[in-house]
Structure 1
Amino acid sequence: MSDRMARDRHRKRQLAEAVVGLIADGECLFLDNSSTNLALAEILPASSNLTVISNSAAIVAALADRNDIRLIAIGGVVDPNLGACTGPEALVQVQHIHFDRLLLGACAVSCSHGVCVFDPTDMAFKQQLLASANYVVVLATSDKLETTAPFRVASLKAIDTVVVESDAEGAICSNLAAAGLDIVRAAGTSSQPPISAKTG
């Protein structure tokens, strides 16, 4: 996770900043294992009465000293390749939790293949997260858009909002909006207009 966080740190921070305004006071959030979600954890606003749940060792560590956040760690064996718990113990725990907003980690996002990842256990865990979430947001750097990975988590119908970089290709964003997603652009120098297919 530390290696992934070090790559494109500024870009991930911009995506995270775009998400903060979507979060309402008192929400229960699930921050899925993701270096971009770690950037979000680092800037979550104070005094918002948030409950944050995560399976990521790095995210839990980043929030452990936050007295203003109710933190719930999803446990089990930490996969060293992922830096997170995604095994059977973690699956059982999330089956019994409902959260207002899921920040879903993704390795690839495309109109044809939906949201995909490289690890089958991670895929199964994310599918359970989707079943437990009221609203789903994916933060995607431009290198993940219109790409694919071996294990399909879900079609785009399972996602409500995708947060993209300011320079994300307009045609890709238009196709994602046509598939029914709200598109939120991170702050930057792009002159691309916002695209919205729905509200939520």
Structure 2
Amino acid sequence: MLPVERQKKIIDLLMMKKVMKMPELREEMGISIDTLRRDINILAEEGKIKKIYGGVKLVELKFGEASMEERMTSHLDEKAAIAKKCNASIEDGDCIYLDSGSTTYQIAKYIKEKRNLTVITNSVPVIIELMNSDIELIVIGGKVRKNERSVVTYDYLFNFNQLNIQKAFICASGITMEKGISDYNVEEALARKKIIGLSQEVYIAADSSKFGKNVTVNIAGLDEIDYIVTDKKVTKGVIQQFDEIETELLVSEG
């Protein structure tokens, strides 16, 4: 059994029992205690389970999407490392799209020294971050989502087809091999679909906690995505799955 399959089985068992002792879990899994501990450590790092004295319990996740304030501070080291990896793919003279999201916001911090760079965005934090830089800023117009600090737009408000985007950096709340990338909000998803269709290269900037999740609204299949940039906590099982498809998985070093 592959690590990713074992870890899924552990989650399935905990969904039924909520709390399990290590000996009980090892017996159910039929694996060595060392292997079990490795899987437990990975799942704990991903925030899916919590270690307790003598055992583990399932983390009760809040329904729906976390607030922007929460996402701006969660997995911060991982998001900064992802941003650095994305920055290495951006060249002087590029025209790029920076999506609204906590990970793409981090990218804005690393690109200020690029020359002749044009950034198209719907993110208010990205606009503020780049306002006093030499970067050419183009803001898509539309309705402001105050909680998300973003702008969602529609065809009758903004002529997307006039954009010439070389590289789009998109956020996602969920990534699965079967369904591709997904998000919680319909309006954000529609804007992302449009940008993906117009861009020459598409990068998904997402920390490793997003893998294995399929949330409310589908954005695109992996066949529409060129690169997924994630952090070094991504599991070997996920990495192996990307060996079999054309979408390239880029793992940050930090």
Q: TM-score range, shorter-chain basis?
A: 0.7 to 0.9
Rg larger for: 2
**Following TM superposition, by how much is the alpha carbon of 1:168 offset from its aligned partner in structure 2, in angstroms?**
0.7
Select the structure that is richer in helix: 2
Equivalent positions of 1:89-104 (< 5 A) are: 92-104=158-170
**Following TM superposition, by how much is the alpha carbon of 1:45 offset from its aligned partner in structure 2, in angstroms?**
4.3
**Match of 2:92, SS?**
coil
Structure 1 unmatched ranges of 5 or more: 189-200
Answer whether contact 2:141 2:158 (CA < 8 A) is retained.
Answer: no
Structure 2 match to 1:17: 84
1:5 aligns with 2:72: yes
1:178 aligns with 2:226: no
Residues of 2 paired with 1:90 and 1:142: CA distance? 36
Answer whether contact 1:79 1:86 (CA < 8 A) is retained.
Answer: yes
Residue 152 of structure 2: which of 70, 86, 95 is its match? 86
Structure 1 match to 2:123: 56
Structure 2 match to 1:169: 235
**Following TM superposition, by how much is the alpha carbon of 1:24 offset from its aligned partner in structure 2, in angstroms?**
1.4
Residues of 2 paired with 1:122 and 1:175: CA distance? 28
Answer whether contact 1:75 1:90 (CA < 8 A) is retained.
Answer: no
Equivalent positions of 1:23-172 (< 5 A) are: 23-66=90-133, 68-88=134-154, 92-172=158-238
Q: Percent identity?
A: 24
What amino acid is the match of 2:201?
Answer: Y
Residues of 1 paired with 2:109 and 2:157: CA distance? 25
1:187 aligns with 2:253: yes
Give the aligned CA root-mean-square deviation in angstroms. Answer: 1.6
* TM-score, normalised with respect to structure 1: 0.88
Alpha-carbon displacement from aligned partner over 1:83-109 (angstroms, at most 9, x marks no partner): 211132686332321200000111111
**Match of 2:159, SS?**
helix
